[in-house]
Amino acid sequence: MKRVYNFSAGPAVLPEEVLREAANEMLDYKGCGMSVMEMSHRSKAFAEIIETAEQDLRDLMGIPDNYKVLFLQGGASQQFAMIPMNLMKNKVADYIVTGQWAKKAAAEASKYGKVNKIASSEDKTFSYIPDCSDLPVDEDADYVYICENNTIYGTKFKELPNTKGKTLVADVSSCFLSEPVDVTKYGLIYGGVQKNVGPAGVVIAIIREDLITEDVLPGTPTMLTYKTHADAGSLYNTPPAYGIYICGKVFKWLKKMGGLEVMKERNEKKAKLLYDYLDQSKLFKGTVEKKDRSLMNVPFVTGSDELDAKFVKEAKEAGLENLKDAKSIALADGSVPVGKYTRQALVNAGILDAVDDVSTIPTDVVSQALGGVEINECGNVSAVKTQVAEGSNEVGTVYYSDTYGLEDKLDILQVISYDLTGNVIYPIAQVKNDEADELEQKAALDLVNFVKSDAAKAIFDSYYFDTNVED
């Protein structure tokens, strides 16, 4: 067996000891004659699994008794909606935007109330954590939201923001169980487990009991209220049982290793090796201000697209996988023409399976076909362009003509041939209108003839339109 060095942001590496234990129990869990995948979540065996997992997590994090531990589904992205549905009593919330996922969370919350972006590092492509010592916290804000560790951009809050008495809500997906944490400083702390804790499919929410109420926004589904899951001990519906089982084994492994203090020491040593090398390197450079560097995500570049590609290729040959795959792609959904053309190109390239209507291919299917890359689904081509130009996403697909005027902000990596996309044609024709007089008909014909002229073609060409098409 050959194991690679897997640097994927998630699903990420699991301890081999845990994987081997799970393999040994795959067909027969503790003599019950079945796999955990097969057993009822109402069974005594699974009750022991989830109760033990919760207690081990409480031990690791020092979770006080007045906090509930919820094992949920839907990942962090579902929490983007679940949090305002449950906590936005005044329909006002403050968000600190330090990366792609905080930005997406703020956008989702804005569907339910007023969102104030009280601090941001978007002006410098999220390469730092803004000063949060004296924030303009809204008096009516129900909570202040942060993404504590930013996966894509490699920044980390070293000090929590001064919320001026408001409840702090934190997405800790990328730093979950990487170091000790004082849970009492948060009203709600949550994380998708696939980055540090277990397989994809589980999100753990740790929430103070006074925030768990029946007073939620009107129309909130039963499944999306924290009280539903708290009252049922995370067993209101069939939970992601196997994922919880693996998380439980990782919790025991962490305790066996010495707990979160030891994990912090190990993570600091590993990160120091990388950062020390980057700081002395004449080829590579880090992209994050030193004071805000994450222990878990270390982005770096050469400054040359060619050298970056060469490094990734040679790293892969050396057994280092997914070094570049933590970045995200801006992509229009299938209902948008450019999203449809992109999907058609991926089908024709053999990356996606052929279907009758490519516009129906969901974004998550595209993500899976591209190796699990994180995709920022956009509503139109302008949104895609903006996300890439502002640095929120590494790459995106737009019409070539839409890159005009952004040459200083965008690099054209590839112009896709019509063989892959199909023709993207803007037709022109003179409409037959019996009510138009002779002068109007002539004016229309003059316009058609001008558009087809060399002079017009030169204008179109200058704006990156292709005029080499047949009538």
CATH number for the domain harbouring residue 405: 3.40.190.10
Cα separation, 193 vs 188, in Å, equals: 16
Q: Give a yes or no: residue 7 inside a domain.
A: no
CATH number of the CATH domain containing 291:
3.90.1150.10
Which among 94, 101, 166, 385 is annotated as catalytic? 101
- pLDDT over 80 (residue 194): yes
Question: Is there a contact between 184 and 166 (Cβ–Cβ < 8 Å)?
Answer: no
pLDDT given for residue 325 in this prediction: 55
Least confident of 64-73, 145-154, 296-305, 323-332: 323-332
- pLDDT over 80 (residue 178): yes
pLDDT given for residue 326 in this prediction: 47
Are both 160 and 302 inside the same structural domain?
no
Tokens of 25: 């129990």
- pLDDT over 60 (residue 471): no
Which among 68, 103, 166, 195 is annotated as catalytic? 195
Average pLDDT, the chain: 88
Are both 351 and 455 inside the same structural domain?
no
Question: 3-class SS at 399?
Answer: coil
Q: Give a yes or no: residue 8 inside a domain.
A: no
- DSSP state letters, 118-142: EEE-GGGTT-SPPP-SS----TT-S
CATH number of the CATH domain containing 76:
3.40.640.10
pLDDT given for residue 390 in this prediction: 59
pLDDT in tens, 139-153: 999 999 999 999 888
- pLDDT over 50 (residue 316): yes
Among residues 282, 316, 350, which one ends one of the domains?
316
pLDDT given for residue 40 in this prediction: 93
Which among 56, 171, 292, 333 is annotated as catalytic? 171
Which residues 6+ apart lie within 8 Å of 409 measured at CB? 389
Q: Give a yes or no: residue 10 inside a domain.
A: no
- Determine whether 101 is an active site residue: yes
Domain of residue 98 covers 16-257
The answer for 51, left when phi > 0, alpha when psi is -120 to 50, beta otherwise, is alpha
Least confident of 36-40, 69-73, 325-329: 325-329
Least confident of 186-195, 287-296, 317-326: 317-326
Are both 83 and 227 inside the same structural domain?
yes
Average of per-residue pLDDT across 306-335: 75
- Determine whether 195 is an active site residue: yes
Are both 143 and 291 inside the same structural domain?
no
pLDDT given for residue 23 in this prediction: 94
pLDDT given for residue 468 in this prediction: 73
- Determine whether 253 is an active site residue: no
Average of per-residue pLDDT across 396-424: 76
Least confident of 106-110, 348-352, 388-392, 421-425: 388-392
pLDDT given for residue 418 in this prediction: 74
- pLDDT over 90 (residue 180): yes
Least confident of 32-36, 157-161, 250-254, 399-403: 399-403
pLDDT band of 342, cuts 50, 70, 90 = confident
